[in-house]
Structure 1
Amino acid sequence: MTFTLGVDLGGTKIAAGLVAPDGVVTRRMSAPTPAAEGPEAILQTIVDLATSLTASAPGAAIAGCGIGAAGVIDPVSRTVQFATNSLPGWTGTRLGAEIERRLGVPVATVNDVHAHAIGEAVHGAGRGERTVLVIAAGTGIGGALVIDGVLQAGRHGAAGHYGHVPAAEAAGLACTCGGVGHLEVIASGPAILQAYLRRGGSVPRDTQEIFAKADAGDSVAAEVIDVAATALGRSIGGLINSLDPDLVIVGGGLASAGPRWWNTVESQARAEAMGLLAGCRIVPTSLGADSAIVGAASLITSSTLLTPQSL
């Protein structure tokens, strides 16, 4: 059988898998991202994972390798256009060309959240739908729009930075991008933790503990979660008004935090949407942790995912 290598490259972990033509991941491997060691160490980790996966399926043909990577990735030059300090030196890395040279197979690249969106739109919860909006809410807030199976990546490959739209709830708060008052600094996982600390809450281990505190009756924890979910929901409602998608798929770490968060996001999105659009379906992801691997692999197996019109 012919497989495609799919790689999900994040700031803390690199996951890779062998993906069958129907989008099923048959084998998976992962390794910590050696971010502090620089781009060369990251590239070598990708190669090592790919080599190990290929060796685990003797006789299988490898059609190519798709990579969803952290940072702003130009899908044409396959170069990292911009990355945060979580990946020092990553900006400027010729990701596609370097991996292609080392593996000897065709390589396609996109942003990791874009890969996640493609996976869900083509093989996941959005399968069969024409216009799919995907929102990923976790460490950051991102997403993508996929129309007729085509990723709408934008002029610089940076479309989908939904966390960097203004949000009234974030007024006056500095954003990591250098702006002020953006959605990400009130609605992301780290933002919930920071808001809890600003309100005088006891120091938690992580954002997950804040949800546990809210369920146990901590009113401050409940309030900061409500504010975060409200801000995200209102922004999703605004995107529904702007884009009129067939459905919205919401994923990321926060999407699995439980009904307190999910119900508020959904109700606020519907309240913000215009009457005609208030019934837009809002659903969770269906591929789970495999979504970016599947989406990245789909870049190789489907020629319609990236076109000049989508870039």
Structure 2
Amino acid sequence: MSHRDNAAARRPAVGVDLGGTKIAAALVAADGSVLARASAPTPAAAGPAAILDAIAALAARVAGGADVRGLGLGAAGVIDPGSCRVVDATDVLPGWPGTDLRSGLLRRLSGLVPRVEAVNDVHAHALGEAWLGAGRHARTALLVAFGTGIGGSYIVGGRPAVGAHAVAGHVGHVPSAEAAGLECTCGGSGHLEAVASGPAVHRRYLAAGGDPAAEDTRAVFDRAAGGDALAASAIATAARAAGGALGGFANALDPHAIVVSGGLAAAGRLWWDPLLAAYAANVVGALSATVPTRALLGADAAVVGGASLILRD
């Protein structure tokens, strides 16, 4: 490698995590360390152009005049990583489908960012964990995030397997026996997300006659920790569904590492113990040593993973 090539390889990249309510951006060094951070609310109601404006403004802020190699974006929605276009999205981001992320950001960041790459936000999260987090050193890694929704990503050779239509990773919409008869956010019913997501825990608790003063999922966990049997039951049902699904995914994919992230992953033994028991009961014997572990990078995972689209190419 020439001196010029070596210098270019040391240049940082901008990583961006675009969610329905918040945009986070970071300047990420070639070794994955975060050099600068910034965030702002997502102007979702204002439409795609306003969202791209906000991303560009944050990217320029964290770059701070640095000579960057490019911008890697993890974005909500179904993202075609080849064209960097939004194939599909929920109503959380009105008008988002069809948005050309690459050309829109290159135009706004002309002279600052020479290249833009994009994937779905959960894929970006998984890329970060596979590079520097709980999936580090694993040749293949499956990440599943359990939070407001449920999403996943399978990393092979440092890249997410996105499928023929860029839809791979929508693991929240596989059938789940525990979700029988429950409506899902996608419009279907009986899907994993309808029983194992954070909001699903809250709904199940209230439907079982739990304290109506419990205003969210965190309150349900607080009550379970205090001895509320209905709260503990709602959590255990969600965790069993999650663990059974992870066992099924492991049987189908045989990953070297399984990483669990999202808000529920931080919930403690009330959630983890029934999850791990259900996983063990469903996984084939040869995979019994491949135990799900908690993600390590927290909020930095998606911005680091987004930047890795540029830094690790």
Into which bin does the TM-score normalised by the smaller protein fall?
over 0.9
Return 5+ residue gaps in structure 1 as ranges.
Answer: 304-311
8 A contact 1:271–1:278 mirrored in 2: no
Query: Is the partner of 2:13 in helix, strand or coil?
Result: strand
Q: Does 1:33 align with 2:42?
A: yes
What TM-score, normalized by structure 1, do the two folds share? 0.94
Query: Is the partner of 2:12 in helix, strand or coil?
Result: strand
8 A contact 1:65–1:107 mirrored in 2: yes
Q: Which residue of 2 aligns with 1:233?
A: 243
List aligned pairs for 1:125-204, cutoff 5 A.
Answer: 125-203=134-212, 204=214
8 A contact 2:13–2:68 mirrored in 1: yes
Deviation at 1:24, TM superposition (A): 0.9
**What is the CA RMSD across the aligned residues, in angstroms?**
1.1
8 A contact 1:233–1:266 mirrored in 2: yes
What TM-score, normalized by structure 2, do the two folds share? 0.93
Q: Which residue of 2 aligns with 1:61?
A: 67
For residues 148 and 93 of structure 1, the distance between their equivalents in structure 2, rounded to whole angstroms, comes to: 28
Paired amino acid for 1:35: A
8 A contact 2:117–2:310 mirrored in 1: yes
Q: Which residue of 2 aligns with 1:260?
A: 270
Q: Which residue of 1 aligns with 2:216?
A: 206
Q: Does 1:79 align with 2:88?
A: no
For residues 171 and 281 of structure 1, the distance between their equivalents in structure 2, rounded to whole angstroms, comes to: 27
Number of equivalent positions? 300
For residues 207 and 123 of structure 1, the distance between their equivalents in structure 2, rounded to whole angstroms, comes to: 30
Query: Is the partner of 2:239 in helix, strand or coil?
Result: helix
Given the alignment, which residue of 51, 56, 59 partners 1:50? 59
Moved over 4 A (4+): none
List aligned pairs for 1:297-308, cutoff 5 A.
Answer: 297-303=307-313
Q: Which residue of 2 aligns with 1:282?
A: 292
Q: Which residue of 2 aligns with 1:70?
A: 76
Return 5+ residue gaps in structure 2 as ranges.
Answer: 1-9
8 A contact 2:86–2:98 mirrored in 1: yes
Deviation at 1:202, TM superposition (A): 2.3
Percent of residue pairs bearing the same amino acid type = 53
Q: Which residue of 1 aligns with 2:255?
A: 245
Deviation at 1:205, TM superposition (A): 2.1
Q: Which residue of 2 aligns with 1:98?
A: 104
8 A contact 1:229–1:265 mirrored in 2: yes
Paired amino acid for 2:245: S
Paired amino acid for 1:213: R
- 1:152-178 CA deviation, whole Å, 9 max, x = no partner? 111111111110000000001111212
Deviation at 1:68, TM superposition (A): 0.2
Paired amino acid for 2:18: L
Q: Which residue of 1 aligns with 2:3?
A: none
Q: Which residue of 1 aligns with 2:22?
A: 13
Paired amino acid for 1:87: L
Q: Which residue of 2 aligns with 1:308?
A: none
Query: Is the partner of 2:136 in helix, strand or coil?
Result: coil
8 A contact 1:3–1:61 mirrored in 2: yes
For residues 193 and 115 of structure 2, the distance between their equivalents in structure 1, rounded to whole angstroms, comes to: 35
